[in-house]
Amino acid sequence: MFLKPGKTAAPTHESKPPGKGRPTPTRKEAEAARKRPLGGAGARPTTPLTKEQQKEARRKARERYDHAMRTGDERYLPLRDKGPVRRYTRDWIDSRRSIGEYIVFLALGSLICLFVLIRWQPVVASYVMLFMYVIVFAVIGDGIVRGRQLKRALVAKFGEDKVPRGSVWYGVNRSMQPRRNRMPHPQVGRGEFPS
């Protein structure tokens, strides 16, 4: 070590760094310290439910859900069906007829006719096939028109910034289901247009 003239070396004291003041915990102690209740830091321990209590709780939850799907009760509906925009969308769609709600019946009838007629009346069967294509294009066109009308109605009612994304598709998808299979069940009759 080289020093400049007139300078003296400071005494060095080689000392150990201070310890942590406690012994290292065992693996078992460290794992036990990491375990926390699922509810978070302030969660109170709860007593586990018996099988009968769990079964009863599931039954009550299912009853609430079924009741909400029948009556449109907002408190127990799934998140995708909650809110005034979704309620208005359902009522707007349910108050009108659409080709899409009959597609299942028309397609099934066409398929049965096609299988029956293809062997004995191939010309008629080709017309049935053409009819099936016409149905598909009519449903697509009806969905596009209905979606645009619904979007205009939603923007007029709630404003463009209040309409959540996917509301129009929610309505168009609902319009393609048979009326009695729609969930939540329709709360308005045909021709009872929402205001």
**Ranges of each domain in the chain:** 51-82, 83-195
Give pLDDT < 70 ranges for the chain.
1-17, 36-46
For residue range 9-37, list pLDDT tens digits in order: 555 556 666 777 888 989 998 888 888 66
Q: Considering the chain, what is the average pLDDT of its residues?
A: 83
CA distance from start to end of the chain = 93
* pLDDT at res. 43: 55
